[in-house]
Structure 1
Amino acid sequence: MATPSIPAGGHGDPTRRDFLMVATGALAGVGAVATAWPFINNLNPAADTLALASIEVNVQPIQVGQAITVSWRGQPLFIRHRTPEEIKEAEAVPLSELRDPQTDNARCTDTAKKVRPEWLIQVGVCTHLGCVPLGNKPGQPKGPFGGWFCPCHGSAYDTSGRIRQGPAPRNLAIPPYLFTSDTLVKIG
């Protein structure tokens, strides 16, 4: 009498078993992703944080020689409509006199590489210890170089926001910005 042969993969239909294994694995994977997604999504920045990532400022009301301070990413941002005298003074400074050499045009160039020397947009935080320099509001001392002055430790910046005196190691930071029109600038 002949013994019945058993299929090579064990008992039952091998194709059905393979299908069940794949289906079980796929279901487990979907379950793991569904369980992990709320935790992963929680790592994304909040809506209020994303709203602070970029701002648009209308610069039309800013008169020549005037400066305003706006808040961007929780920091003060200085926007100055410079006078022709301030521009000439900043361009005349030899780079050899600067601790953090940077031309005036490099500091007034937007992300589209368009130079607008009449507009200086910079983060209003001293690069020494994070103080807010004076000189952006009427009546505040502008410092010995006509720009900004940090009274905490004596850092002085020129009309282009470049460090000229004091303990600060770098110029005031220039944020990424783009003029979307002649009067509207997008920062961030």
Structure 2
Amino acid sequence: MAMDETREPTRRDFLYLVTAMTGVVGIGAASWPFIDQMRPDASTLAMASIEVDVSSLVEGMSLTVKWRGRPVFIRSRTQQEIEAGRTTALDDLKDPLARNANLADDQPATDVARSAGEGKEKWIVMIGVCTHLGCVPLEQAGDFGGWFCPCHGSHYDTAGRVRKGPAPENLAIPRFQFISQTVVRIG
């Protein structure tokens, strides 16, 4: 048979094709339960984000909510707390990074970078877990008027930046946004 000649498909070619396609479909059907079980269940998806009404918080008050099994501190800071955060020199901080999931990883830990942003500086939303050994700090305590972890003595300022003690990093800020003037979505 010459190279330029083509042959007609036979019944055997058809059976090979049908057998191969049946095998592919069978493998796909058999593996689907294994693939499907890797998706998160409904309870996990429900915890992916929460919406919190902060309309009842007045200046100086805090609210602790649970998100993904961890406490989240939401605080309406006073003007004095904001000023204390603004006047802190970045050289005085143990951790110079903002640790804000809403910003670039290399963002400096200024007071605005740790807050809800320009125009919403009074709001601070942080994961309430000490970065030393995972304890929950006490609010409005410590040497800097922010948070204090009594377990090992870490002190955080009014912007949640570690200032003293064994904690290596600032309190983490989760991804969040204000979806209205009084409702914040975390996650």
Q: TM-score, normalised by structure 2?
A: 0.87
Q: Which residue of the partner structure matches residue 65 of structure 2?
A: 70
- Are 1:108 and 2:107 an aligned pair? no
Work out the CA distance in 2 between the residues paired with 1:160 and 1:152: 20
Q: Which residue of the partner structure matches residue 91 of structure 2?
A: 96
- For the residue of structure 2 that corresponds to 1:122, the secondary structure is strand
Q: Which residue of the partner structure matches residue 4 of structure 1?
A: none
* Counterpart selection for 1:58 from 53, 70, 75: 53
Q: Which AA in structure 1 matches 2:133?
A: L
* Counterpart selection for 1:21 from 16, 20, 32: 16
- Are 1:120 and 2:115 an aligned pair? no
- For the residue of structure 1 that corresponds to 2:29, the secondary structure is helix
2:116–2:123 CA contact under 8 A, matched in 1: no
Runs (4+) of structure 1 exceeding 4 A deviation are none
Which segments of 5 or more consecutive residues in structure 2 lack a partner in the other structure? 1-5, 97-108
2:116–2:125 CA contact under 8 A, matched in 1: no
Deviation (angstroms), 1:68: 0.6
Q: Which residue of the partner structure matches residue 39 of structure 1?
A: 34
Deviation (angstroms), 1:14: 4.2
CA shift digits 1:89-131 (9 cap, x unpaired): 1111000000112101001146xxx551110000000000111
- Are 1:159 and 2:166 an aligned pair? no
Which segments of 5 or more consecutive residues in structure 1 lack a partner in the other structure? 1-7, 136-140
- For the residue of structure 2 that corresponds to 1:71, the secondary structure is strand
Q: TM-score, normalised by structure 1?
A: 0.86
Work out the CA distance in 2 between the residues paired with 1:27 and 1:106: 57
CA shift digits 1:55-114 (9 cap, x unpaired): 11111111110001000010000000001110001111000000112101001146xxx5
Work out the CA distance in 2 between the residues paired with 1:15 and 1:127: 70
Work out the CA distance in 2 between the residues paired with 1:22 and 1:158: 70
- For the residue of structure 1 that corresponds to 2:138, the secondary structure is coil
Q: Which residue of the partner structure matches residue 176 of structure 1?
A: 175
Cα RMSD for the two superposed structures: 1.6
- Are 1:142 and 2:141 an aligned pair? yes
Work out the CA distance in 1 between the residues paired with 2:130 and 2:142: 13
- For the residue of structure 1 that corresponds to 2:163, the secondary structure is strand
Work out the CA distance in 1 between the residues paired with 2:119 and 2:137: 25
Work out the CA distance in 2 between the residues paired with 1:115 and 1:163: 24
